Structure 1
Amino acid sequence: MRKNHHHLARALIFFALLIVIGIIGYSLLLHINLLDAAYMTIITILTVGYKEVADMNAAAKLFSIMIIFGGIALVGYTLTNLVEFIAGGQFQDNWRLKRMENKIESLKDHYIICGAGETGQNVAAQLEMGGDAFVIIDNRADIIKELREKGYLVIHGEPTQEAALKQAQIGRARGLVSALTTDADNIYVVLTARYLNKDLFIVARAIEPHAQEKLTMAGANRTVSPNAIGGRRMAAMMTKPSIFSFLDIITYAGEDVLNLEEVEVTTGSEITGLSLRDAKIPDKTGLIIMSLKKSTGKMIFNPGPDEILEPGDSMIVLGTADRVKLLSDISSPKA
């Protein structure tokens, strides 16, 4: 497809060059202005047979013969490549790519996934199930093609490069996951991302245990060691199978399973300033309040009924997706 694209571009360049040569040639041989020379060139190339704008001398006639043969050959070559360009799918691919780029440019409050390996693709699957907007950055053409066929927004570029992060609209993003295969690359992504967006929530993958501290120093809000998490999960499967099954239920998003979600209390909502007792969240929504994160950062597990809900507080709740949506509406400013 790329070959067809290059052939078409080359044909159009040659066609334009032939027109320029014709204009210059007719203006010199017939001593006419550029507009008349352009007119003569076009009617000669297209062989439409309109009347000449000046008397043709021998040199001009010979020049016209050359232009006609060159024009016929180039028109045929251009049309052939144009048909191959469209039939070969390049036109559709370019249209889809442009459409995807427009969608990426309009992203806001989205997530950026750096690296489309197994970890990155699992992150994408979870975000997709949760209905969250995201864009993936990767440099492997085969993986990019596969992800685009799934309908994902993907940028073909180096996740460590500032240009790719800017193309992903990092300035308007809510969060970023760095899931590259080396600690050095993840640290570089975190440093660059933090420089471009001071308020971005960054989660980074740590390959080696000692890299977690460096990632935090570079600007990551959270670090994840897949090996450590995998080990703990395997141990839990063996020693605490019932608890593990419960955690599995609340870990994976979906309509008919329990979700563990964070809902922020905003200024002007109907529950702002109320105690948990007066807010009656379990009665109104059917959700279980697991913990309350105060705006100061203090985490209160199994909060008591006298705890006051203040702007900036976040409730960690357990329940189905539709119930969480109901609480989000209650916690938002009144219309």
Structure 2
Amino acid sequence: MTPTRRFAQAVSLVALMTLFGAAGYILIEHMSVLDAFYMSVITISTVGFGEVKPLSPAGRLFTIGLIVTGVSSAIYLFSVIGELVIEGSLKEFLGKSAMNRKIHNLQEHVIVCGFGRFGRAVVEELTRNTVPMVVIEADPARQAELEATATLHVVGSALEDSVLEDAGIGSARAIIVATGSDADNVYITLSAREKNPKILIYARGDLDAGLRRLKLAGADQVVAAYQWAGMRIAASILSPSVVDFLQLSVPGRESEVDLEEIKISPESPAAGKTIAAVERDNPRLRIVALKRNDKTLELIPAADTQIELDDLLVVIGESDSLKHLASR
């Protein structure tokens, strides 16, 4: 058992003995709640401030028993605290507690399972765009790197339900399953879908069988990292200008040309207008796709298409113009 686990156990034991002692003084000596807790605390802590009132024979016997059991509990607590301080674990324990509170308060965040090369690239991109996230990493050796970048994280295996719950799976909006094992990724996908049916699941796979099973397990999008890298290299040979354009328009890169997704809210000036009207009001932008409700993504929507509330627009254009439209 880890020192931090023993500390929690020791605190619980002392609290339980304090409550037991107070209850005993209330029942045996008919003390008030305050006096009973006072007697219980000074007995367990052995400070010897004196009794609230003379005790009956039954009360004295009860006090003897409380001293034997309660003082042992207090000594155990002090020894665990000493161990935490000596081993330098107290700071780590308090840091973990603070981080756990931050994770508990997150809503609509992203969980990244695996901090290998693939997962690290995802984390860097999400960090650049200030997306709230939690990283789950099974290798304790990578904890120092996560702490250095102030990334919220849980050290443990995402195969365990408790670890997913510690990462806030119930309130997350998306999970990226990026471990190095296709079998583990399939299992994590199943677990995530069970714990949060509405969560978006993006999974990495290497083998064709793994990619197929990830889709069957409920992944919304499956990525074959090596396959995409190979296709990108081949495309750069066949159509270098197209690849250069795609690199230029990667969302969030602060380049001259950007590509963004914009959701139409009731306050948006684009609501009720046509595609042509929005592009006329923003000459440096072009709407290249529209997604409405659960329908499939419509590429190059017709100019007379009327924009409705909750529509998702994929817009390409000058970065400053995109930021201006998104802010409105």
Report the TM-score when normalising by structure 1. 0.72
Q: Is residue 292 of structure 1 aligned with residue 290 of structure 2? A: yes
Alpha-carbon offset, residue 322 of structure 1? 5.1
Distance 1:42 1:218, change over 3 A: closer
What CA distance in whole angstroms lies between the structure 2 residues aligned with 1:257 and 1:88?
52
Tell me what 2:118 maps to: 119
Q: In 2 relative to 1, CA 6–235 (structure 1 residues): closer, same or farther, beyond 3 Å?
A: same
Contact 1:179 1:204 in 2 (8 A): yes
**Aligned partners of 1:277, 1:126: CA distance in 2, in Å?**
33
List per-residue Cα deviations over 1:11-59 (Å, max 9, x = no partner): x999xx9xxxxxxxxxxxxxxx9x9xx79x97996799xxxx99xxxxx
For residues 224-268 of structure 1, the C-alpha deviation after alignment (integer angstroms, 9 at most, x for no partner) is 001110111121233333322222222263334543221122345
> Paired residue for 2:238?
239
Q: CA deviation at 1:76?
A: 11
Between the aligned partners of 1:192 and 1:77, the Cα distance in structure 2 is 39
Structure 2 match to 1:108: 107
Counterpart position of 1:130: 129
Whether the 8 Å CA contact 1:139–1:158 is kept in 2: the answer is: yes
Q: Are 1:185 and 2:187 counterparts?
A: no
Are the counterparts in 2 of residues 254 and 321 from structure 1 also a CA contact under 8 Å?
Answer: no
Tell me the SS of whatever aligns to 1:251: coil
2:220 partner letter: N
3-state SS of paired residue (1:273)? coil
Q: Shift of residue 220 of structure 1?
A: 1.0
Counterparts in 2 of 1:324 and 1:162: CA distance versus 1, 3 Å: farther
The aligned residue for residue 199 of structure 2 is 200
Q: Secondary structure at the match of 1:274?
A: coil
Matches within 5 A, 1:182-331: 182-251=181-250, 253-267=252-266, 269-280=268-279, 283-284=281-282, 286-295=284-293, 296-301=295-300, 303-319=301-317, 323-330=321-328
Partner residue, 1:333: none
Q: Distance in 2 between matches of 1:43 and 1:110?
A: 45
The answer on whether the counterparts of 2:289 and 2:297 sit within 8 Å (CA) in structure 1 is no
Q: Name whichever of 255-264 and 140-149 sits farther off.
A: 255-264
CA distance in 1, matches of 2:215, 2:251: 26
**Which letter maps to 1:312?**
D
Q: Which has the larger radius of gyration?
A: 1
Q: In 2, distance between residues paired with 1:113 and 1:304?
A: 37
Label 1:79 to 1:246 Cα distance change in 2 as closer, same or farther (>3 A): same
- How much does 1:103 deviate? 0.8
2:287 aligned counterpart, secondary structure: strand
Query: What pairs up with 1:29-68 in 2 under 5 angstroms?
Result: none
Q: Identity, % of aligned pairs?
A: 27
Contact in 2 for aligned 1:285/1:326 (Cα 8 Å): no
Does structure 1 retain, via aligned residues, the 8 Å contact 2:113–2:177?
A: yes
Paired residue type of 1:318: I
Deviation at 1:190, TM superposition (A): 1.4
SS of residue matched to 1:210: helix
Are 2:3 and 2:84, in contact at CA under 8 Å, matched by a contact in 1? Answer: no
CA distance in structure 1 between the partners assigned to 2:169 and 2:8 by the alignment: 35
- Residue 5 to residue 221, structure 1, CA distance change in 2 (3 Å): closer
Report if aligned partners of 1:159, 1:189 keep a CA contact under 8 Å in 2: yes
Name the Cα RMSD after superposition.
4.4
**Residue 318 of structure 1: SS of its match in structure 2?**
strand
TM-aligned CA distance change 1:120 to 1:268, over 3 Å: same
- Which residue does 1:57 correspond to in 2? none
Question: SS of 2:111's equivalent?
Answer: strand
Aligned to 1:23: none
| TM-score between both structures, scaled by the size of structure 2 | 0.74
Structure 1 residues 319 and 124: CA distance shift in structure 2, 3 A: farther
How many residue pairs are counted as aligned between the two chains? 310
CA distance in 1, matches of 2:120, 2:3: 30
Q: For 1:192-237, what per-residue CA distance to the aligned partner results, in whole angstroms no more than 9, with x for missing partners?
A: 2112222211111111123323212211111100111011112123
- Report the CA distance shift for 1:255/1:45 in structure 2 as closer, same or farther (over 3 A): same
Give the AA of the match of 2:198.
Answer: D
What does residue 24 of structure 1 align with? none
CA distance in 1, matches of 2:291, 2:48: 79
Aligned-residue offset at 1:6: 6.2
2:34 paired residue number: none
Structure 1: unaligned runs, 5 residues or longer: 18-32, 55-66, 331-335
Give the Cα–Cα distance (whole angstroms) in 1 for the partners of residues 44 and 202 of structure 2.
64
| Per-residue deviation, residues 100-134 of structure 1 (Å, max 9, x unmatched) | 11111111111111111111111111111111111
8 Å Cα contact 2:273/2:307 also seen in 1: yes
Residues 290, 317 of structure 1: 8 Å contact kept: yes
2:58 is aligned to none
Q: CA deviation at 1:320?
A: 5.8
Distance change in 2, residues 1:178/1:289 (3 Å):
same
CA distance in 2 between counterparts of 1:254 and 1:89 reads: 41
